[in-house]
Amino acid sequence: MDDPYHNNVTQQVTEGGEYTYTQGGEGQDGYPYQADYPPQDEDARSDATEGADDDEQMYEGEYQGVPHPDEIKEARRAARTEARRKARQAAQQEEEEDNLPEQYEAIMEDCGHGRFQWMLFFVLGLALMADGVDGFVVGFVLPSAEKDMCISNSDKGMLGLLVYVAMMVGALVWGGLCDKMGRRKCLIYVLTIDLVFSFLSCFAQGYGFFLFFRFCSGFGIGGSIPIVYTYFTEFLQMDKRGEHLSWLCMFWMLGGLYASFTAWGIIPHYGWGFAIGTELQIHSWRLFILVCLFPALAALVGVIFMPESPRFLLESARHDEAWMVLRQVHDTNWKAKGEPERVFTATNIKTPQTQEDEFIEIQSDTGTAFQRWTVRHMTMLQQVMANIMSLSAPELRLQGLFLVIVWFCLAFSYHGLGVWFPDMIKYMQYEEYESKVKVFHRERVERFHFNFSLVNQIHREGEYIHDKFANIEINSVKFEDSLFENCYFEDVKSTNTFFENCTIKNTVFYNTGIMQH
């Protein structure tokens, strides 16, 4: 049944978009009836919805710390984008690293092999020669130094041990540093350390200081071998490396020959020493150490004028410096070959897109130069130690153990025997001397002219009065508790001659090798 009341309700839309209803039929007057509620004022809104946007709904988990689903999707999308970017960058870097050796070989072939490589060959050869000399110094010095420093047999063994331990540690440390600082710079440091501490060891009067200086010298020169071979290799073409590296090894043998000949020509002349004041005594074996510094000094001067390895510069993303070095090599070689017009064609060298160096630089205004230097070098040492510790990785343990065994055998059989042989030869000479020595006891010689040489003799409690020793040689002679009164020594060459607890009265020594003390 229809409701007449509802049939007379008319729906109208106002200008504001609001619906109003009017009671009554069409054409009848009625009172307006508004069905919806009037719009509320702002002050009448609920406190629960205050501050909320009308178009946005409040996420119910916001106050519970639960991320919004849209935020999770956005984070996942960003992570996937970053992973794809890193994968593309890693693939590009790997491809560029694979291409770097090939293009570097092509550039070195364009540079050629000539005057530059030969200059570097002789400079690095002198550095390798300095290492060879340093390996023989201790063995030649010990027999003479043990008397001046009163070194016992255990102390001699400690000296030989610590020097070679220092060389081993130096090879590990400097081998890692040259990959961070550069071949040329590390080689300069190595040679400088060896020169400074070897020079100081020439004047060390005590065994402790001498041991410390030789240890520091060994730590420096121990790093020369890995640096020299790496440095020279990076300037050679592939077909030249084996041949020229073998030739470079020749300088190590020349260092041994240099040390042997200088020891043979200097150490036996005990009278070549001199005194500086009353405390500092410079004997012939100290002069021998001083002469052994010449190869290291010449190598240091030569390395200063050599450029850095271009391969190291490329791997360090120093493209412009590497290009200048390669052009220098190219121009030096082709000018020497009579083709100065030849142009260096390498204009674009693709280098790996390496990340910024891990050194932490203090760029703020509060950072001082000393702070930047400290942070940079401490970080570099941490990287080097990390590289050294990486040798203990499982895949490298077997190779490392094998190399350690090989190195120990070579060092023990070569350097160890080099230290042991001089002492053994000295013992054999002593045994021969003891078997042939002549002993004179309580002899009295008066107004006698000794015109013959005295060799391998011991004179105990003798008396020599108004005697003359002229134009003779006294070799391995010892006078014990003897009296020399009104005697005259002239033009006497003495070797290993000692006066122990002797009384010397009115005796003249003129032009002799006998030291006054």
CATH value at residue 450: 2.160.20.80
Pairing state between β 468-480 and 449-450:
parallel
Strand partners, 32: 22
Is residue 497 one of the residues assigned to a domain?
yes
User: H/E element holding 173?
Assistant: helix 153-181
Same domain, 344 and 476: no
Task: Answer with the one of 331, 362, 393 that is the final residue of a domain.
Answer: 362
The answer to whether 32 and 20 are in contact (CB under 8 A) is: yes
Decide if 407 is inside a domain: no
Tens digit of each residue's pLDDT (9 = 90 or more) over 219-245: 988 888 889 998 999 998 888 888 888
Residues 292 and 162 in one domain: yes
pLDDT of amino acid 416: 64
Contact status, residue 288 vs residue 266, Cβ threshold 8 Å = yes
In a domain, 144, yes or no: yes
Tell how strand 503-505 and strand 483-485 pair up.
parallel
The CA distance from 200 to 162, in Å, is 17
Inside any domain, residue 32: no
Give residue 17's pLDDT: 45
In this prediction, residue 314 carries a pLDDT of 83
Helix (H) / strand (E) containing 504: strand 503-505
Q: Give me the amino acid identity at 30.
A: G
d(CA 350, CA 102): 11
- Looking at the fold, whether 175 and 284 belong to one and the same domain comes out as yes
Say which CATH number the domain at 144 has. 1.20.1250.20
Same domain, 131 and 239: yes
Count of other CB atoms within 10 angstroms of residue 183:
25
Question: Of 338, 362, 386, which closes a domain?
Answer: 362
CA distance 269 to 393: 53
Distance of CA 426 to the CA centre of its chain: 37
CA atoms of 10 and 395, how far apart (whole Å)? 92
| pLDDT beneath 70: ranges in the chain | 1-68, 89-100, 153, 270-281, 347-401, 403-404, 407-426, 428-429, 432-433, 515-517
DSSP 38: P
> Distance between CA atoms of 364 and 59, rounded to whole angstroms?
43
- CA atoms of 505 and 54, how far apart (whole Å): 124
pLDDT of amino acid 399: 65
Rounded to whole angstroms, the Cα distance separating 315 from 329 reads 18
3-class DSSP assignment, residue 463: strand
Helix axes 417-436, 115-149, angle to 10 degrees: 40
Question: Token pair of 383, please?
Answer: 């990287």
| Contact (Cβ atoms closer than 8 angstroms) between residue 217 and residue 96 | no
Using a 10 angstrom Cβ sphere, with 0-12 exposed, 13-18 middle and 19 or more buried, the burial of residue 352 is: middle
**Three-state SS for 395?**
helix
pLDDT value at position 284? 81
| 115, 239: one domain | yes
| Residue spans of alpha helices (H) in 62-152 | 69-111, 115-149
352 and 490 fall within a common domain: no
Q: Are residues 211 and 111 in the same domain?
A: yes
C-alpha–C-alpha distance, residues 273 and 289, integer Å: 13
Contact indicator for 192, 304 with CB cutoff of 8 Å? no
Integer Cα distance of 267 and 131 in angstroms = 20
In 249-338, DSSP assigns E strands to: 274-276, 280-282
For residue 86, how many C-alpha atoms fall within 13 Å in the half-sphere facing its CB? 7
The reported pLDDT for the residue numbered 485 is 92
**Which residue is it, tokens 């410096």?**
321
Domain boundary among 362, 384, 417: 362
In a domain, 375, yes or no: no
> Do 446 and 358 reside in the same domain of the chain?
no
User: What whole-number distance in Å separates Cα of residue 322 and Cα of residue 309?
Assistant: 8
Instruction: Judge whether 89 and 353 are in contact, CB under 8 Å.
Output: yes
> Per the structure, how many domains does the chain have?
2
pLDDT tens digits, 458-470: 999 999 999 999 8
The amino acid sitting at 277 is: G
Residues 353 and 471 reside in one and the same domain: no
* Domain-embedded: residue 71: no
Query: Are 224 and 130 contacting, i.e. CB atoms less than 8 angstroms apart?
Result: yes
**354 and 446 inside one domain:** no
The rounded distance, in Å, linking the Cα atoms of 240 and 120 is: 14
In a domain, 405, yes or no: no
Kindly state whether residues 198 and 331 are assigned to the same domain: yes
Q: How many helices (H) and strands (E) does the chain have?
A: 15, 15
Give the pLDDT confidence score for residue 117 in this predicted structure. Answer: 92
DSSP 8-state symbol, 347: -
Range of the domain at 453: 438-512
CB 53 within 8 A of CB 45: no
Q: Considering the domain boundaries, does residue 17 fall inside one?
A: no
- The arrangement of strands across the sheet holding 32-33 comes to 9-13, 19-23, 32-33
Distance (Å, rounded) from C-alpha 459 to C-alpha 478? 6
* Per-residue pLDDT at 47: 46
Are both 203 and 348 inside the same structural domain?
A: yes
Nearest to 453 by CA among 494, 500, 400: 494
